[in-house]
Amino acid sequence: MIDTSGPRIFGDDYWADPQGVSAQVQEQGAVHQTLLPAGVRAWVITRYQEGREALADVRLSKAADRVLPVFVGLLVAAGHDPAAAGVLIGPHLLNSDSPKHRRLRRLVTSALTRRRMEAMSSQVDKVAIELIDHLGAMSGAVDVVEGLAFPLPLRVICDLLGIPVQDQSQLRKWTTALMEEIPEEVVPASAQMAAYVTALIEDKRTRPGDDLISALITAGAHDDRLTADELLSTVALLIVAGHETTANAISNGIAALLAVPQRWQALAANPGSAPAVCEELLRLEGGVACSTYRVTTEDVVYGGTTIPAGELVLVSLMAANRDPAAFDDPTKYRVGRAEQQHLAFGHGIHYCVGAALARIEMAAPLRLLSSRHPNACLAASAEPLIYGRSPITVGRRTLPVTLHG
């Protein structure tokens, strides 16, 4: 029986104040039962030490054949054939355990060469400047979510993968449907994205270019390359994870800095501090609220609570990163903390493969926007802030800002 008398992760009160509710739940213990928005029961770990342990625990499986059966009943109830879920059930990095995971990660990282990543830094700056200049030419309040936070990482990941500009808005719609896990929308979006990515891959096979999809097609030795299904699901994963979480981190970070003008002005006066600023913002206001799903393969105990075998488990990264047992004055914004091991990018073998690029994509717009508009401020219409309703990510859907303060 799930207790709904107090603050509950993923209850209605959560969507109005996810950080605050997570902190209240954490005070009540390290492990909690809850209901996901789709109606599935899950266990959420909210404290740092237990969360860090769980993220690296081999008894918690991420294999698709263990995790996805939990959702099959919901898809059937919504009138969908789970077999048509496409990229949702694909054999990619996030849906695998080692040794399979180790092999997939090696093949993906072999395509993410140092030369490719170094080139991305200048590309990120170029796109950020273009978007900021466009916003600066507008009068009145501008929405930095629509005008900067989302288009920046979306354009960057699409450039990296070799995806045409005209397809990017549709990719964002599919991604939103997948992340918010609405049964009526998840399967159609997944199937449509799968069809799109399949056609894209076939085009790259015929006309390869200097892009990541072409590199993934040829990654590895001839006797060990990504299979067709692995390639499809990996490209889809890179599209979804490659912009949604970073966009949230950018918009959350801008909101947190502008909420206290001295923070914004300090960054504007010292643009070189942007990487350190981003680390503290990732801890406080990261774009990922919870880890992706795991299933217990046997009974496990965290914080004195037993989670039975076959149960769905998430780690609240947002709550763990504000755990007073791990961080001094955890709700305070403090650049250059001695405690740097936040969990914003996860921990263990599933540590975010795109963390380096995400850090570049977050630092650039904060550095460039603050230096160009040191007197920017939250617009009067910035409250109440509107959050998306994904159990995994946390991000504002709108953030009005006055640039010419």
In a domain, 4, yes or no: no
pLDDT at residue number 138: 92
Distance, first Cα to last Cα, the chain: 52
Report the run of H or E that residue 75 belongs to, with start and end: helix 69-77
The amino acid at 327 = F
**Mean pLDDT on 249-265:** 95
Q: Is 42 left (phi over 0), alpha (psi -120 to 50) or beta?
A: beta
In a domain, 395, yes or no: yes
pLDDT in tens, 124-176: 999 999 999 999 999 889 999 999 999 999 999 999 999 988 898 898 888 88
Q: What is the torsional sign of CA 287, 290, 294, 300? A: positive
Phi, psi of 313 (to 5 degrees): -130, 135
pLDDT at residue number 81: 61
Per DSSP, the residues of 303-334 read TTEEE-TT-EEEEBHHHHTT-TTTSSSTTS--
In a domain, 118, yes or no: yes
Q: Is 260 exposed, middle or buried (0-12, 13-18, 19+ CB in 10 A)?
A: exposed
Q: Is 165 exposed, middle or buried (0-12, 13-18, 19+ CB in 10 A)?
A: exposed
Distances (CA, A) of 320 to 19, 93, 289, 340: 11, 23, 10, 13
For residue 99, name the pLDDT band (cuts at 50, 70, 90). Answer: very high
β 41-45/312-315 pair status? parallel
Q: Which residues contact 122 (CB under 8 A, 6 or more apart)?
A: none
**Structure-block tokens of residue 207:** 């006309």
Q: What is the torsional sign of CA 249, 358, 367, 48? A: positive
**Structure-block tokens of residue 360:** 């570049």
Q: Is 168 left (phi over 0), alpha (psi -120 to 50) or beta?
A: alpha
Give me the CATH number covering residue 251. Answer: 1.10.630.10
CA 184 to chain centre: 22
Give the domain range for residue 243.
12-402
pLDDT at residue number 84: 54
pLDDT top residue among 119 and 156: 156
In a domain, 2, yes or no: no
**Mean pLDDT on 16-22:** 80
Sheet holding 294-296, edge to edge: 31-35, 41-45, 312-315, 294-296, 60-61
Global pTM value: 0.90
pLDDT at residue number 92: 83
For residue 28, name the pLDDT band (cuts at 50, 70, 90). Answer: confident
Give yes or no for residue 260 having a pLDDT over 90: yes
Using alpha carbons only, how large is the chain's radius of gyration in Å? Answer: 21
What mean pLDDT is reported for the chain? 86
Distances (CA, A) of 347 to 193, 333, 338: 28, 22, 19
Of 125, 120, 136, 171, the closest CA to residue 150 belongs to 171
Of 333, 72, 90, the closest CA to residue 193 belongs to 90
In a domain, 5, yes or no: no
| Extended beta strands in 111-231, E state | 142-143
In a domain, 1, yes or no: no
Q: Is 197 exposed, middle or buried (0-12, 13-18, 19+ CB in 10 A)?
A: buried
**Structure-block tokens of residue 387:** 């959050």
pLDDT top residue among 345 and 183: 345
Q: Is 323 exposed, middle or buried (0-12, 13-18, 19+ CB in 10 A)?
A: buried
For residue 25, name the pLDDT band (cuts at 50, 70, 90). Answer: confident
The DSSP symbol for 378 reads E
In a domain, 371, yes or no: yes
Coil, helix or strand for 403?
coil
Q: Report the 10 Å Cβ neighbour count for 241.
A: 24
pLDDT at residue number 40: 78
Number of structural domains the chain divides into: 1
In a domain, 7, yes or no: no
